[in-house]
């Protein structure tokens, strides 16, 4: 790449490219940057990735990077982190898979067109590996977020659903997210991974702030897992997998949606399940569910109407009334 700023010690770096005033040169340089970054081993790679992370959150509907190969680049970086642990442990590369998955999620949360491009770029297999826990719970959190966005759209849901383990893994995360974060973060303060602490507080704050943010992230992990499962629950063919008694009985107590007003939480997922005749039978026969729904229906919180809907559908169905 051509050097843009004489003050920069790294000719052609991402930040120099972004300052390029000539649109055609900037586009060509960005295309080259995204194509070559995964194969490079230079120090400081986390800097442009964190810059892209900020840009993706601030401008998730901007197509510029999408058209130039950012999805292919992020998927390749995730795979590199999974396969090359020496590279992952070098410099600050440990942050890169997290940022890469977060970038994918940000650019797919609003635009179905971008989600289709992400699927064609091959992001799903890389995200599934993170969802499996090949790294840590922090990467699982952003992987389930990104997959949840891809599952939202009619055009990309089949690609997500074709990976059968995604649903099972999401159910496991929804049930165990709080325990996972407790075991791997709260239980032994002196064993906390430093990059987890940095991500949680953005480098500002001590143990108390880290703990508060970890609690919030644990709720988000559950929340986003429930959102992903909810996408599957709209399809009757997935209800036999979802409607396992050991999972259903825990749904009324899953309040991950408190950190996201758009989340269905456990009761919202139950509402989706009860909307289907195939789902009402397992719900009605699951011990404790009806009592839990009645308790929520008598409450004054925002999810009261969801419990009432569940109870009405169960009463109106002759097979469950």
Does pLDDT of 5 surpass 60? no
Q: pTM of the entire structure?
A: 0.90
pLDDT at 105: 96
Query: pLDDT tens, 178-191?
Result: 888 878 776 555 56
Could you tell me which of 70, 60, 194, 79 has the C-alpha nearest to residue 138? Answer: 194
The label of the residue with tokens 């500002």 reads 204
What one-character-per-residue DSSP string does 39-83 give?
G---TTTHHHHHHHHHHHHH-TT--HHHHTTHHHHHHHHHHHHHH
User: What mean pLDDT do residues 272-300 have?
Assistant: 90
Query: pLDDT tens, 202-258?
Result: 644 556 666 677 788 788 889 999 999 999 999 999 999 999 999 999 998 887 555
Does pLDDT of 112 surpass 50? yes
pLDDT at 14: 78
Taking the C-alpha atoms of residue 141 and residue 133, their distance in angstroms, rounded to an integer, is: 10
pLDDT at 4: 43
Query: If you ran DSSP here, which 8-state letter would residue 154 be given?
Result: T
pLDDT more than 90, % of the chain: 55
User: What mean pLDDT do residues 76-80 have?
Assistant: 97
Q: Kindly report each contact of residues 131-134 with a partner whose C-beta sits within 8 Å and lies 24 or more positions away, as own/partner.
A: 131/166, 131/169, 131/170, 131/173, 132/165, 132/169, 134/82
Could you tell me which of 114, 104, 21, 1 has the C-alpha nearest to residue 57? Answer: 104
């Amino acid at each position: 790449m051509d050097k843009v700023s004489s003050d920069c010690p790294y000719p052609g770096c991402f930040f120099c490219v972004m300052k390029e005033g000539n649109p055609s040169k900037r586009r060509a340089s960005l295309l080259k940057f995204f194509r070559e970054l995964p194969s490079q081993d230079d120090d400081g790679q986390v800097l442009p990735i964190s810059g892209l992370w900020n840009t993706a959150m601030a401008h998730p509907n901007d197509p510029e990077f999408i058209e130039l190969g950012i999805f292919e680049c992020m998927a390749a970086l995730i795979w590199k982190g999974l396969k090359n642990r020496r590279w992952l442990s070098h410099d600050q590369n440990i942050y890169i898979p997290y940022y890469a998955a977060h970038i994918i999620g940000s650019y797919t949360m609003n635009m179905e067109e971008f989600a289709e491009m992400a699927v064609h770029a091959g992001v799903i297999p890389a995200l599934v590996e993170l969802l499996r826990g090949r790294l840590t719970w922090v990467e699982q959190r952003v992987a389930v977020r990104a997959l949840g966005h891809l599952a939202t759209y009619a055009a990309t849901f089949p690609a997500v659903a074709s990976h059968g383990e995604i649903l099972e893994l999401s159910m496991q995360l929804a049930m165990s997210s709080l325990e996972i974060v407790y075991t791997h973060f709260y239980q032994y303060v002196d064993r906390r991974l430093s990059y987890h602490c940095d991500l949680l507080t953005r480098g500002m704050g001590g143990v108390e702030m880290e703990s508060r943010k970890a609690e919030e992230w644990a709720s988000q992990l559950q929340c986003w897992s429930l959102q992903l499962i909810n996408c599957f629950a709209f399809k009757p063919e997935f209800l036999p997998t979802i409607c396992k008694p050991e999972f259903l009985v825990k749904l009324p107590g899953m309040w991950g949606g408190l950190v996201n007003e758009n989340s269905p939480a456990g009761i919202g997922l139950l509402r989706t399940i009860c909307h289907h005749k195939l789902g009402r039978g397992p719900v009605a026969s699951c011990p404790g569910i009806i009592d839990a729904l009645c308790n929520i229906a008598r409450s004054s919180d925002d999810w009261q109407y969801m419990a009432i809907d569940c109870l009405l559908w169960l009463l109106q169905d002759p097979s469950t009334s």
